[in-house]
Amino acid sequence: MNKQHLTDYDPAIQKAIESELNRQESGLEMIPSENFVSLAVLEALGSVLTNKYSEGYPGKRYYGGCEFIDVVEQLAIDRAKEIFGAEHVNVQPLSGAPANVACYFALLEPGDTILGMDLSHGGHLTHGHPVTSIAKVFNFVRYKTDAQGLIDMDNLRAMALEHKPKLILVGYSAYSREIDYPAIKQIADEVGAMTMADIAHIAGLIAGKQMNNPVPIFDVVSTTTHKTLRGPRGGMIMCKKDFAKKIDKAIFPGLQGGPHENNIAGKAIAFKEALEPAFVDYAKQIKANAKVLERKFNEFGYTLMFGGTDNHLLLIDVTPKGLTGAEAEKALDHAGITVNKNMIPDDPRSPMDPSGIRLGTPALTTRGMKEADMETVAVLIEQALTHHTDESVLQRVREEVKALTLQFPLYPEHR
């Protein structure tokens, strides 16, 4: 067995890790799906739990020696149930996309119709975009937002009546507004459809009691455990007891083998953190910070998709400012500000060179930034975008970004 530390055995990998840590510490991470986990979560991810195979579920494993693994996984399950009010929880999905695919196979037969959100209007690839493999298995029909940028419930109902879906799917990757789950459940009941919510982006805001919770209302709810929930990269499915066996079988043995128990331990720790009173304050601050950015970008004359934000993110059309989303992302990268280029509703441009950028506040909020800091951040972004071809301005902004981040050290104990 190699008993050397990483620094001694593989300095190339160690250097890359240190460089990434420096990038995260010295820049502004504003991709809405990114966040920073705690030291406790990092420790769990690097623990000896990674050595153990544990196919099956607590108390029903296909391998011996799982008595302590069962403790870890059951803690994760119990804590998730407490947070979201779930009847049944599966913490084994490796990420959000396989969690969604597992839900489809658990609930439906090939060829069944799913009514989900169009990607360019804030949906997700796994909600039926034609480029995905799952779109070859099920019949996806996609609804959109209205002229005001909101979900048109009358149109959604009309599409449900027309297409008679077996499943109505809500939950988004770029949509910035609250969701009326009872109204959607009523439509589903009218047409005899099951309901599914993908809360990957807003799970932490729901856990922090700052957004509506679909878990007690919908049949099945999928989520990632990173993003606003601030856990390790992974997935989770919550459902009514009636669907528990189907969901569990769809994950194992349907789509996955041995679960990653070191990751599940990280999930359990993150769920414990989400049960702390401080997590509510964190969730409130995420939204407060996003509202400051909304106000500032309106003042700067940008076009905000969906009319603004009720959650942690903003989707902004930058083309009226004379640049594309790809150009904006590149300029901000040079300035030490990380966002992602993103399509806007009915975008005439391509996904790799779209009209918009998507940015959010979870990671900056985790670092301790508040409203006054968001004022500063908004000004820095505006300067970088306005002068996106001027390297001297981008370098100056980068230095100001570094000065700001020094006030909010990321992992001082890890140094």
In order, the DSSP letters of 374-394 are: HHHHHHHHHHHHHTTT-HHHH
Residue 152 has a pLDDT of 87
Mean pLDDT over residues 85-90, rounded? 98
Residue-number span of the structural domain to which 52 is assigned = 42-274
Per-residue burial over 225-239, b = 16 or more CB atoms within 10 Å of its CB, e = otherwise: bbbbbbbbbbbbbbb
Single out the residue in 220, 244, 274 at which a domain terminates: 274
Q: Which of 61, 142, 157, 227 is catalytic?
A: 227
Is 55 among the catalytic positions?
yes
**124 among the known binding-site residues?**
yes
Task: Give the CA dihedral 207, 208, 214, 220, nearest 10 degrees.
Answer: -10
Q: Which of 55, 87, 152, 390 is catalytic?
A: 55
User: Does residue 243 share a domain with residue 154?
Assistant: yes
Q: Is residue 155 one of the residues assigned to a domain?
A: yes
Largest CA-CA distance found in the chain, in angstroms, rounded: 64
Give the Cβ contact number of residue 23 at 10 Å: 12
Q: How large a percentage of the chain has pLDDT more than 90?
A: 90
Angstrom distance (rounded) from CA 413 to CA 415: 6
**pLDDT confidence of 196, banded at 50, 70, 90?**
very high
**75 among the known binding-site residues?**
no
User: Does residue 236 share a domain with residue 87?
Assistant: yes
112: exposed, middle or buried (Cβ count in 10 Å: 0-12, 13-18, 19+): middle
Residue 8 has a pLDDT of 95
Is 233 among the catalytic positions?
yes
The secondary structure element, H or E, covering residue 329 is helix 325-334
Q: Is residue 370 one of the residues assigned to a domain?
A: yes
Q: Is residue 166 one of the residues assigned to a domain?
A: yes
**Residue 61's CATH number:** 3.40.640.10
What type of residue is 70? Answer: D
Q: Is residue 303 one of the residues assigned to a domain?
A: yes
Is 142 among the catalytic positions?
no
Alpha-carbon torsion (220, 224, 227, 231), positive or negative: positive
Q: Which of 79, 177, 233, 296 is catalytic?
A: 233
Inter-residue contact 200 to 224 (CB < 8 Å): yes
**Residue 347's CATH number:** 3.90.1150.10
Q: What is the pLDDT of residues 93-149, one digit of tens each?
A: 999 999 999 999 999 999 999 999 887 777 777 787 788 899 999 999 999 888 777
Residue 131 has a pLDDT of 86
Single out the residue in 225, 247, 274 at which a domain terminates: 274
Roughly how many angstroms between the first and final C-alpha of the chain, as a whole number?
A: 27
DSSP letter string, 43-94 = HHHTSGGGG----EETTEESSS--HHHHHHHHHHHHHHHHHHT-SEEE---S
What type of residue is 314? Answer: L
Chain mean pLDDT for the chain: 95
Give the Cβ contact number of residue 402 at 10 Å: 14
Single out the residue in 247, 274, 301 at which a domain terminates: 274
**pLDDT confidence of 414, banded at 50, 70, 90?**
low
Residue 98 has a pLDDT of 94
User: Does residue 165 share a domain with residue 250?
Assistant: yes
User: Does residue 323 share a domain with residue 262?
Assistant: no
**125 among the known binding-site residues?**
yes
Q: What is the pLDDT of residues 284-322, one digit of tens each?
A: 999 999 999 999 999 999 999 999 999 999 999 999 999
User: Does residue 372 share a domain with residue 234?
Assistant: no
**pLDDT confidence of 415, banded at 50, 70, 90?**
low
User: Does residue 59 share a domain with residue 190?
Assistant: yes
User: Does residue 328 share a domain with residue 257?
Assistant: no
Would residue 209 be called left, alpha or beta, if left means φ above 0 and alpha means ψ between -120 and 50 degrees? left
Q: Which of 113, 126, 224, 324 is catalytic?
A: 224
Is 53 among the catalytic positions?
yes
Residue 413 has a pLDDT of 66
**pLDDT confidence of 174, banded at 50, 70, 90?**
confident
Strand partners, 220: 196, 239
Residues contacting residue 81 through CB under 8 Å, at least 6 positions apart? 87, 89, 238
User: Does residue 333 share a domain with residue 206?
Assistant: no
Q: Is residue 37 one of the residues assigned to a domain?
A: no
- Stronger pLDDT, 122 or 342, i.e. the higher one: 342
User: Does residue 168 share a domain with residue 86?
Assistant: yes
Q: Is residue 59 one of the residues assigned to a domain?
A: yes
The residue among 274, 213, 269, 273 whose CA lies nearest residue 238 is 213
Q: What is the pLDDT of residues 29-45, one digit of tens each?
A: 999 999 999 999 999 99
Q: Is residue 30 one of the residues assigned to a domain?
A: no
Q: What is the pLDDT of residues 147-173, one digit of tens each?
A: 777 888 999 999 999 999 999 999 888
Per-residue burial over 128-151, b = 16 or more CB atoms within 10 Å of its CB, e = otherwise: bbeebebbebbbbbbbbbeeebeb
User: Does residue 98 share a domain with residue 75?
Assistant: yes
Q: Is residue 106 one of the residues assigned to a domain?
A: yes
Is 302 among the catalytic positions?
no
Residue 264 has a pLDDT of 98
User: Does residue 352 share a domain with residue 327?
Assistant: yes
User: Would you report the helix, strand and coil content of the chain in percent, each value rounded to 5?
Assistant: 50, 15, 35
Counting the structural domains of the chain, the total is: 2
User: Does residue 358 share a domain with residue 253?
Assistant: no
CA-to-CA separations, 267 to 22, 54, 75, 311, in angstroms, rounded:
25, 16, 9, 22
Q: Are strands 313-317 and 356-360 parallel, antiparallel or unpaired?
A: antiparallel
Is 373 among the catalytic positions?
no
